[in-house]
C-alpha cells in the first residue's frame, strides 16, 4: 500500500492574522482565532497582548494548540491582543522570524503582524540599513516597523499611512499600540482582512471562520486601501489611498480559504462546488466514479459529480490521526517530509474508470504519486481534473509558489503533462470558467476583478525586487559573455 503526504505539493500562503480589542479574554480569543486560521500557516504562531500598562508576548514554533494551552489570561493579560500564524515565504523559519514583532517607538509600544509579501522589501531594507537601521529578523514585516519609526509625521496613524505609501505588494496587517487596535489592507486588497464584533469588543481576522470559532458576528470586510483604528472611542476608518477597484487574490477561492468561510459575501464551499460543475462542463470524460483528492478537492469533486451524473466516492482516504508533518518551506524539505497521510480505497478504485479531481496542480510531483497510488489499487483508467486553470506563473504577494521553472504546467505542453502523469486524459478549468464559478464572469475589455497572475501573467502591482533580480542576472550573464 502506498502512503504519501499530499500537502507537500500545494501552494502555501504566508500566514493568517487575528486581533481583538475590548475584551479581558483578548489573548484567549486570539488563540482560538489562530486555531481556526491554522490552515494558513503551521510553521509558527505568536500573540502579543496589552493590559493598559505593559505588553506581553509569546512566540512559538509549531502549531497553535501545542503552544498556547493553559490560562493565557495570566500569561498574556490585557484587553487587546494580536496574533499570527506563520508559513515563511520571506524570512527563514527561525524563532526570530515569528510574528507579531514589537518595538518601543517614541510614540510608545507598537506590535504588528502581517499577511502577505512586500514586493519592494529588499530595496527598502537596504536603504534603511544604509541609513543606520538595525534589523533583528529577515522578515519584510520589520521593514514596515522601521518605516513607521522613521516617519516624520506626528500622529501614529499618520506614520503608518506614510509607511504604507512607501511599500508595494500585497498585505493585510494588524497592530496594537497602547490605545488602539489597527488593521490595514493594501491598495488593491490582495490579502484579506475582515471586521467582526464579539459582544462589546471588536475583532480583526483573515477569514470569517475565525469569527465563528469564538461566536463573533461578522460586520464587514476591510476595504482595499483602508486603515481601521479601533479604540475606546469606537472605530475610525481612514482611506489611505485614492479609490480604485479592488483586486483580491483569486487563490483564496481556489485553495487558501477554509471552505466554511465567506469572501465578498460568497460561500467558499459553494464557489468550489460550482468550480467542479463548470469543470465537468468543460472537460467531460466517460468514467465510473468521481474521486476527490482529500481534503481540498472534495467540494469540486462533488460539483463535478452533480453536473456529470457520475457517482462520487471516497477513493482516497486521509488519515487524520497521523502526526502532522512539519511543513517545510523549501523544495528539498517538501520531498523529505512525506508522511503516511493518504491511502487508496481499493474497494472503490479496483477495475474502475476513475476521474480524480484536485483543486490545482503546482509542481506535479504529488499528482504523479496520486496517480501511481490509484493505478496500483487497480484503477482501469485515470482521468485527472484540476479545478483551477494551469498555474504557469509564480506569485510574489505572499504565496509560496514555485519558480516558473518548477511549475508543472509552465514547463510542459498538455501532451507532455499527460505522459508525465501517466493518465488517460487531463483537464483544467478555464480562466473564464473560474470567474463564472465565482459569480464574476469575465467581460471583454474590462479589468480583471481578481488578481489572477498565476494563470495569466498579468501582475497587478510593480515587482521592484524581482525586476532588480532579473536585471542583476542579465548583467552577470553579460559579464560572462565578455570573458
Give the catalytic positions in this structure.
Answer: 15
DSSP string, 37-78: TGGG--SEEEEEEE-SS-EEEEEEES-HHHHS-S-HHHHS-S
Determine the Cα–Cα distance for residues 398 and 206; give it in Å rounded to an integer.
Answer: 13
Sign of CA dihedral 287, 291, 297, 299: positive
To the question of whether residue 339 is assigned a binding role by annotation, the answer is no
Determine the Cα–Cα distance for residues 86 and 45; give it in Å rounded to an integer.
Answer: 6
Closest CA to 276 of 385, 362, 421, 417: 385
To the question of whether residue 481 is assigned a binding role by annotation, the answer is no
Count of Cβ atoms closer than 10 Å to residue 136 Cβ: 11
Look-up of cell digits 482582512: 193
Determine the Cα–Cα distance for residues 186 and 246; give it in Å rounded to an integer.
Answer: 10
378 three-state secondary structure: coil
8 A C-beta contact, residue 428 and residue 386: yes
Q: Is 60 exposed, middle or buried (0-12, 13-18, 19+ CB in 10 A)?
A: middle
Sign of CA dihedral 252, 258, 263, 267: positive
Give me the residues paired with residue 118 across strands.
169
- The upper half-sphere exposure of residue 31, i.e. CA atoms within 13 Å in the direction of its Cβ, equals 22
Determine the Cα–Cα distance for residues 312 and 388; give it in Å rounded to an integer.
Answer: 19
Q: Which helix (H) or strand (E) holds 181?
A: strand 181-185
To the question of whether residue 405 is assigned a binding role by annotation, the answer is no
8 A C-beta contact, residue 182 and residue 157: yes
Binding residues: 296, 358-359
Amino acid at each position: 500500500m502506498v502512503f504519501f503526504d499530499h500537502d507537500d505539493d500545494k501552494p502555501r500562503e504566508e500566514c493568517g492574522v487575528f486581533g481583538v480589542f475590548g475584551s479581558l479574554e483578548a489573548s484567549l480569543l486570539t488563540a482560538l482565532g489562530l486555531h481556526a486560521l491554522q490552515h494558513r500557516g503551521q510553521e509558527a504562531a505568536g500573540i502579543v497582548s496589552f493590559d493598559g500598562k505593559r505588553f506581553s508576548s509569546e512566540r512559538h514554533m509549531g502549531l497553535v494548540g501545542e503552544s498556547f494551552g493553559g490560562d493565557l489570561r495570566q500569561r498574556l493579560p490585557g484587553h487587546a491582543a494580536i496574533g499570527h500564524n506563520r508559513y515563511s515565504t520571506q524570512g527563514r523559519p527561525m524563532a526570530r522570524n515569528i510574528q507579531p514583532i514589537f518595538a518601543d517607538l517614541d510614540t510608545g509600544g507598537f506590535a504588528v503582524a502581517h499577511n502577505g509579501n512586500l514586493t519592494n522589501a529588499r530595496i527598502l531594507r537596504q536603504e534603511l540599513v544604509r541609513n543606520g537601521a538595525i534589523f533583528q529578523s529577515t522578515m519584510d514585516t520589520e521593514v514596515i516597523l522601521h518605516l513607521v519609526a522613521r516617519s516624520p509625521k506626528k500622529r501614529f496613524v499618520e506614520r503608518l499611512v506614510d509607511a504604507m505609501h512607501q511599500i508595494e505588494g500585497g498585505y493585510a496587517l494588524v497592530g496594537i499600540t497602547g490605545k488602539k487596535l489597527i488593521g490595514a489592507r493594501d491598495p488593491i486588497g490582495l490579502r484579506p482582512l475582515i471586521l467582526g464584533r464579539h459582544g462589546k469588543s471588536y475583532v480583526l481576522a483573515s477569514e470569517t471562520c475565525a469569527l465563528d470559532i469564538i461566536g463573533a458576528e461578522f460586520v464587514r470586510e476591510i476595504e482595499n486601501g483602508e486603515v481601521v483604528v479601533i479604540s475606546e472611542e469606537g472605530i475610525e476608518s481612514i482611506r489611505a489611498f485614492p479609490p480604485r477597484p479592488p483586486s483580491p487574490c483569486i487563490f483564496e477561492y481556489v485553495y487558501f480559504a477554509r471552505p466554511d468561510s465567506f469572501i465578498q459575501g460568497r460561500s467558499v464551499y459553494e464557489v468550489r462546488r460550482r468550480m467542479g460543475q463548470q469543470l465537468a462542463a468543460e472537460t467531460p470524460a466517460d468514467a465510473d466514479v468521481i474521486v476527490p483528492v482529500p481534503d481540498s478537492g472534495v467540494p469540486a469533486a462533488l460539483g463535478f459529480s452533480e453536473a456529470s451524473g457520475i457517482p462520487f466516492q471516497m477513493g482516497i482516504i486521509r488519515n487524520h490521526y497521523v502526526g502532522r508533518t512539519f511543513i517545510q518551506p523549501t523544495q528539498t524539505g517538501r520531498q523529505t517530509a512525506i508522511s503516511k497521510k493518504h491511502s487508496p480505497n481499493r474497494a472503490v478504485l479496483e477495475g474502475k474508470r476513475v476521474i480524480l479531481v484536485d483543486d490545482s496542480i503546482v509542481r506535479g510531483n504529488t499528482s504523479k504519486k496520486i496517480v501511481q497510488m490509484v493505478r496500483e489499487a487497480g484503477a482501469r483508467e485515470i482521468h485527472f481534473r484540476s479545478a483551477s486553470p494551469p498555474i504557469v506563473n509564480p506569485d510574489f504577494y505572499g504565496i509560496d509558489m514555485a519558480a516558473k521553472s518548477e511549475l508543472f504546467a509552465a514547463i510542459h505542453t498538455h501532451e507532455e503533462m499527460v505522459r508525465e502523469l501517466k493518465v488517460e486524459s487531463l483537464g483544467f478549468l478555464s480562466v473564464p470558467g473560474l470567474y463564472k464559478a465565482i459569480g464574476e464572469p469575465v467581460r471583454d475589455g474590462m479589468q480583471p476583478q481578481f488578481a489572477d497572475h498565476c494563470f495569466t501573467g498579468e501582475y497587478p502591482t510593480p515587482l521592484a525586487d524581482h525586476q532588480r533580480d532579473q536585471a542583476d542576472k542579465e548583467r552577470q550573464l553579460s559579464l560572462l559573455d565578455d570573458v
